[in-house]
Amino acid sequence: MTPSFFSSPRWRTWGIWLLPVLLLVLASVRPLSIPDEGRYAEVGRWMLISGDWLTPRVDGIPFFHKPPLLYWFEAASMAVFGATPWAARLVVALHACLMLGLMVACVRHFAGADVARRAGWVLGTSMTFLVAGQYVNTDMMVATWMGVAIWCFARAFMHEGDIHHNWARAGFVACAFGVLSKGLIGLLLPGLVLFLWIAYTWQWRKILALPWVSGLLLFVAVTLPWFVLAAREHPDMLAYMFGKHQFGRYTATTFNNARPWWFYGMAITVLLFPWIFFVAADGVQRLRQRLNQQASDDNGAWVALCWIWVIAILGFFSIPNSKLIGYALPVMPPLAALAALWWQRHWATRTWGTWVFAALSLVGVCVASFANHYAGVFTLERSTRDVAKAVVCQVGPDDVLAVVDDYPYDVMFYAQRQRPMEVIQDWGREEREAGDDWRRELMDGVGFDKPSGAALQPMQRLAELRTNDHAWVLAPRWQNAYRAETYTGFIEAYKDSSWVLYRGVSAATSASAAKSPEAAEQKGLRGCKDQSKK
């Protein structure tokens, strides 16, 4: 990305599409982050191997925190590319590319090719695209579909003459995919942004010209089938998903991730560094013009849309006590467009402008690449990627695999297990005391499918597994509750800095229990011969 590269309009245009290649490379070098990526990737894998495309499940237990669109796409990707972290991330990466591509196309329509190209580089060299664009959860998906909906309706309203019906219909479909990605915000937030923008630009009459009948039919056709079928199978699912995990999380103060009111200011700075400062400059300039009653140098309703988009969504998410950085993703396209517009007006014609733009693009790529690398290093501290290799090599497909004192969301994915893992806890106490964590998540899920509760075992289960040489127990080494004496009578089959894998010993095999299991050498898998020696 040299200055001469950016000085050519042709290369500025086509060079943008090298960024998705970099995105896919970065998606291949990092282990699954815990808990989110391990959880969401495993739900997709379980859907594929179980053939149950109706009920999302974690460890065989229903998981109705989110609708299923991510899991459907993950399962399809894994069916083609295998159950790998890259296959799971491909789904999110393709959505990030859709976010980037549609933003470039729409900004080109509203502001011209130069601003569109710069907006593409701004978004494409940011952590939004290069890191969040391959992080496996629902945030990028819903942000993308919300953006698609807003852009499509904007194109419909700003069409010369009357409403452009096909753009509007595409907006209805995008809202439907947004709802299937993360629930009601996929409809409510695009609606909020568009309502405020229509009010600001005084386009009320055009609302009546929208293709309401065909648009709503498309919306219902996409969204309704899964909700109806899932609610028939699990009658309390809708109240749980929408009541507890949407309205409840928005209004309650008992959930995790409590953050101060200014949190999203920090979030957008990180996600769009270093370009966010040009958005701030644009905002200050426009505020001064308004205070001084000066005419703005643009006549773009689309600029008003961008600012309303940012303010409405960040304002909405700043109200609840619980805040996550991923909730800022929906405002990244308009912020990138505003940064590009400011640059085009103030610095594009400067003799040093090309050099600075190239340097800032390189800074963005380097920062995102470093963040991706550091996230991988941090994840490895508690990842089960290594111990999962021991599970693959030593634990038979019909053996019992259990875990105590934690739930490693990624181990089932890495080990490609098809039998649910037993989770051993004092579940009576957890029912009374568990907060917003993995314990509550699993207990809530069992309420939708009682037989799946067989995976949740009491502490007494350890005594049974101790004398079963087809039983294996995972224990985290960092938990304060971990005591080696708890596992007296088990064989230590594998140990690393984070996890210990124990094997039970039957009376018949206790005489030979001192040596590590030989199952590792019998599977013929690469690396299995030395697995028990680590």
Same domain, 368 and 409: no
Backbone angles phi, psi at 417, to 5 degrees: -75, 145
In 234-327, which ranges are continuous DSSP H helix? 237-238, 249-251, 263-271, 276-291, 301-318
Closest CA to 403 of 394, 411, 415: 411
pLDDT band at 225 (very low <50, low <70, confident <90, very high): very high
Res. 414: pLDDT tops 60? yes
DSSP, collapsed to helix, strand or coil, labels residue 421 as coil
**Residue 59 belongs to some domain of the structure:** no
Q: Say how far residue 309 (Cα) sits from the centre of its chain.
A: 21
| Contact between 303 and 158 (Cβ < 8 Å) | no
Q: Does residue 62 belong to any structural domain of this protein?
A: no
Higher pLDDT, 505 or 187: 187
333 and 292 share one domain = yes
pLDDT digits (tens, 9 = 90+) for 95-153: 999 999 999 999 999 999 999 999 999 999 999 999 999 999 999 999 999 999 999 99
Instruction: Give Cα 347 distance to the centre of its chain.
Output: 35
- Token output for 288: 């001064």
Structural domain of 515: 385-533
Q: How confident is the model at residue 5 (pLDDT cuts 50, 70, 90)?
A: low
User: Does some domain include residue 41?
Assistant: no
Q: Is 521's pLDDT higher than 90?
A: no
pLDDT in tens, 422-434: 999 998 888 888 7
Are 249 and 175 contained in the same domain? Answer: yes
pLDDT at 17 (0 to 100): 84
Judge whether 58 lies within some domain: no
Residues 395 and 505 in one domain: yes
Do both 369 and 476 map to the same domain?
no
* Residues 332 and 469 reside in one and the same domain: no
pLDDT at 520: 39
Region of poorest pLDDT, from 83-87, 295-299, 518-522: 518-522
End position of a domain, from candidates 374, 409, 428? 374
Q: Are residues 204 and 294 in the same domain?
A: yes
What is the mean predicted confidence (pLDDT) over 354-376? 93
Does one domain contain both 369 and 456?
A: no
Does residue 38 have a pLDDT over 50?
A: yes
Average pLDDT, the chain: 89
Q: What angle do CA 376, 382, 383 make, to 5 degrees?
A: 60
Domain boundary among 344, 374, 404: 374
* Model confidence at 164: pLDDT above 60: yes
Q: What is the pLDDT of residue 515?
A: 47
pLDDT at res. 43? 97
In a domain, 78, yes or no: no
Quote the pLDDT of residue 68.
Answer: 97
Could you tell me if 95 and 225 lie in one domain? yes
- Within-domain flag for 66: no
pLDDT tens sequence across 483-509: 666 788 889 999 988 899 999 987 555
Give residue 265's pLDDT band: very low, low, confident or very high (50, 70, 90): very high
pLDDT at res. 529 = 58
Inform me whether the pLDDT recorded for 61 exceeds 70.
yes
pLDDT at 3 over 60: no
- pLDDT number for residue 519: 42
Do 169 and 262 have their domain in common? yes
484 domain-assigned: yes
**Is 61 domain-assigned?**
no
| Boundary-marking domain end, from 306, 341, 374 | 374
Residue 365 CB contacts under 8 Å (≥ 6 apart), including other chains: 1, 22, 125, 130
Choose between 242 and 291: higher pLDDT: 242
Q: Is 447 exposed, middle or buried (0-12, 13-18, 19+ CB in 10 A)?
A: middle
Same domain, 361 and 291: yes
Same domain, 341 and 395: no
- Give the count of domains, the chain: 2
